[in-house]
Amino acid sequence: MLWEVFIRPRRGLSHTHVGSLHAPDAEMALRNARDVYTRRQEGVSIWVIPASAISASSPDEKDSFFDPAADKVYRHPTFYEVPEGAAHI
Amino acid sequence: MYGSDFPLLDEVDSAERELHEAAGRSVERGTDLQRYFDDVIAADQKIEPRDWMPDAYRKTLIRQIAQHAHSEIIGMQPEGNWITRAPSLKRKAILLAKVQDEAGHGLYLYAAAETLGIHRDELVELLLNGRQKYSSIFNYPTLTWADMGAIGWLVDGAAIVNQVPLCRCSYGPYARAMIRICKEESFHQRQGYEILHILAHGTPGQRELAQDAVNRWWYPSLAMFGPPDTESTHSEQSMAWKIKRFSNDELRQRFVDMCVQQASVLTLEIPDPDLRWNDERGHYDYTQPDYGELMRVIKGDGPCNRQRMAHRRAAHDDGTWVREAAAAHAKRKAAA
Amino acid sequence: MSNVLAYGDDALVTAQRLAQWTSRAHDLEEDIALTNIALDQLGAARMLLTYAGEADGRTEDDLAYLREDREFRNCLLVELPNGDFAFTIAKLLFLAAYQHPLYDALRDGEDERLAAIAGKTVKESAYHLDHAAQWTVRLGDGTEESHRRMQNAVDELYPYTHELFELAPSLRGTWDSTVDAVLAEATLTRPADGWKPTGGRQGVHTEHLSYLIAELQVLHRAHPGAQW
């Protein structure tokens, strides 16, 4: 079976997709992921998910699925002018 | 010997930075899929697994990535040949780790190929039935311990020259796998170089081993870059799709230029009496490898082709009962 | 102190056998896993042999490459050939079920140097035991063929396990319960106690060791005094 592997490299960071591997079941997949993707101590936490269990959005749907976010510029920090003298913001 | 700088790692880092920078740029998306595909590539952005892509692009990538993966796996054999006889425990550990890295690299590459809609099993089958190839260099035998040094210095060196540009390849999963691989690979070349350096400065017997190994591996390493540009068939389209970033001859020249200085530090000779600096070109002139031999080796008549394939086939076949057992167990557990 | 040499030789010979699986495993993932274990065992061997050699000024390489066959103190179990994957896994299960509690005990022992070494190796050993257990279960409770191969392996290797407790009789109980639990889950049985081959700790080995040592040492011996 094909599994996708996600690793949290250090505390404070999110899990990141690092690649995939083959394993007969979840227990072996976790162990394989440790051997393959953390040989150089690259991870704190490992998630493995059967590739078939992942639902993905289609690039053709991109316009309607994602573009609404592009309209709402007030979500972006650069939209705002920071008053002079205000620190840490 | 090497100094503390890692020039190739710098190139990999800059490829990685560019990947992130390009991701920030947006490409206008109309309704024309081919046009969008072309624009993404022109902007040095990445094509990702679920994107529309020309069928030929997909097929070329599958072939290139898979053959790269096969090379890593077959490459484990010539180097694995000296693990049990490594002359010190430190060298045994380093060689074990190196060969293990190669298995890992093969795995990353098969994973990248699978994102294009093919299964690893199919790729293994294509290798075993000879329809997909692997790097011809691994069809040569490793006759002495010094071959471990020569392979690390020359073969890994040539592989790095080939591979670093692939960190900028247009297909996302391949580019990312290459960045990962190249970061690990630079130490491989160093350990080979170190082996040769120690041998070249060791006993007369060791020095002889080192020079003999260089003599045998030099021309096959040059041939790793493929036939001369004038005879290379697939290159133009691969260049346009940014799968291939530099020509065979450009990469081969880059490799020669790097090796000359490295050889002098080793105090070993490159077996080419016509090797000399050309001021006009700003490069070293050198003797080409025998491309006839390259073609014969690619076709299957190298010293070790049959042995490498038999070994791979045996490993695969002998393991069938294990794979079947694991699958049976998993199925039973899932049903329970 | 002679025990340190025995522990080191167990690890060295195990590493040498596992290294023979490179490029031969049933899939890449397992190739990588077995090599990891080989590297761990080699690392343990290097630390232990370095320590053992200090008493008379010999290095890890002096001990690995310049001793004669009769001077090796590994148990017989580890020098046996790899056989098929089931045989290798059964060997690893039996060995790791011994090494893990051994290193655990040494970690709290009086010998500080050994305790420091064991502190590192015990964590790796837990992984080796887990790996072997996972595969024992999958092969024992897999297909008819894998069950047959795994049971054969257990039957053939079990006699060699008694020797493990010559130096550490107190570990027998832990070993029994660990191994029994894994075999039970794997639908495998343990043969009755019968033949108990021994001699490794006194340098009286099977005929297999001499070939293993010859291969390990040949290049080093061909260039006396050379650096690598």
DSSP class per residue in C38-77: HHHHHHHHHHHHHHHHHTTT--HHHHHHHS-GGG----HH
Residue A74 lies in a domain: no
Tell whether A68 is covered by a domain: no
- Torsion on CA atoms B15, B16, B17, B20, rounded to nearest 10: 120
CB contact under 8 A, A24 and B50: no
**CB-CB under 8 Å, C146 with B325:** yes
Q: How far apart are CA B302 and CA B175, in angstroms?
A: 31
Start-to-end C-alpha separation, chain B: 60
Instruction: Count structural domains, chain A.
Output: 1
| pLDDT range class, residue A38, cuts 50, 70, 90 | confident
Q: Do B110 and C28 touch (CB under 8 A)?
A: yes
Q: Are B243 and B64 in contact (CB under 8 A)?
A: yes
Q: What is the CATH number of the domain that holds A11?
A: 3.10.20.520
d(CA C83, CA C139): 15
State the pLDDT at residue A83. 54
Residue at token pair 């799709």? B241
Residues of chain A with pLDDT > 70: what percent? 60
Task: With beta carbons less than 8 A apart as the criterion, state whether A19 and B111 touch.
Answer: yes
pLDDT of residue A69: 44
Per-residue exposure over A5-39, b if at least 16 CB sit within 10 Å of its own CB, e if not:
bbbebeeeeeeeebbbbbbbbbbbbbbbbbbbbbb
Cα B313 to Cα A65, C26, C58: the distances in Å are 47, 11, 43
Chains that touch A (3 or more CB pairs under 8 A): B, C
> Does residue A14 belong to any structural domain of this protein?
yes
Give B-chain residues touching A24 at CB under 8 angstroms: 323, 326-327, 329-330
Instruction: Residue B328: list chain C partners with CB under 8 A.
Output: 142-143, 146
CB within 8 Å: A19 and B51: no
Q: How far does A31 lie from chain C, in Å, by closest CA?
A: 8
Neighbours of C162 (CB within 10 A): 17
Q: What is the model's pLDDT at position A57?
A: 78
Cβ distance of A39 and C36 shorter than 8 Å: yes
Kindly state the average pLDDT of the residues A4-21. 91
Question: What pLDDT sits at residue B3?
Answer: 40
pLDDT of residue C46: 98
Quick check: is A62 in a domain? Answer: no
Q: How confident is the model at residue A81 (pLDDT cuts 50, 70, 90)?
A: low
- The residue of chain B nearest to residue C219, with distances taken between CA atoms, is B87
What is the arithmetic mean of pLDDT over C125-129?
Answer: 96
Mutate to test the interface with B, among A16, A20, A38, A55 (most CBs of B within 10 A): A20
Assess if residue A67 is contained within a domain: no
Q: Measured between alpha carbons, how far is B312 from B84 in angstroms, rounded to an integer? A: 19
Distance CA B112, CA A15 (A): 19
Q: Are A10 and B315 in contact (CB under 8 A)?
A: no
Parent domain of A45: 2-55
| A36 within a domain of the structure (yes/no) | yes
Q: Which chains touch B (3 or more CB pairs under 8 A)?
A: A, C
Judged by DSSP in three states, A45 sits in strand
Q: What is the DSSP string of C153-202?
A: HHHHHGGGGGGGGSS-GGGHHHHHHHHHHHHHHTT--PPPS------GGG
Q: What's the pLDDT score for residue B1?
A: 40
Lowest mean pLDDT across A2-16, B18-32, C166-180: B18-32
CB contact under 8 A, B198 and C25: no
The B residues from 269 to 288 touching A (CB cutoff 8 Å) are: none
Within a domain: A51 = yes
Instruction: Determine, yes or no, domain membership for A22.
Output: yes
At A68 the pLDDT is 46
Q: What is the mean pLDDT of chain C?
A: 97
Q: C107: which 2 tokens? A: 């970690």
Confidence band of B5 (pLDDT split at 50, 70, 90): very low
B263-279 pLDDT, tens per residue? 999 999 999 999 999 99
Q: Which chain C residues are closer than 8 Å to B320 by Cβ?
A: 26
* Domain architecture of chain C: domains with CATH: 2-222 (1.20.1260.10)
Q: How confident is the model at residue A84 (pLDDT cuts 50, 70, 90)?
A: low
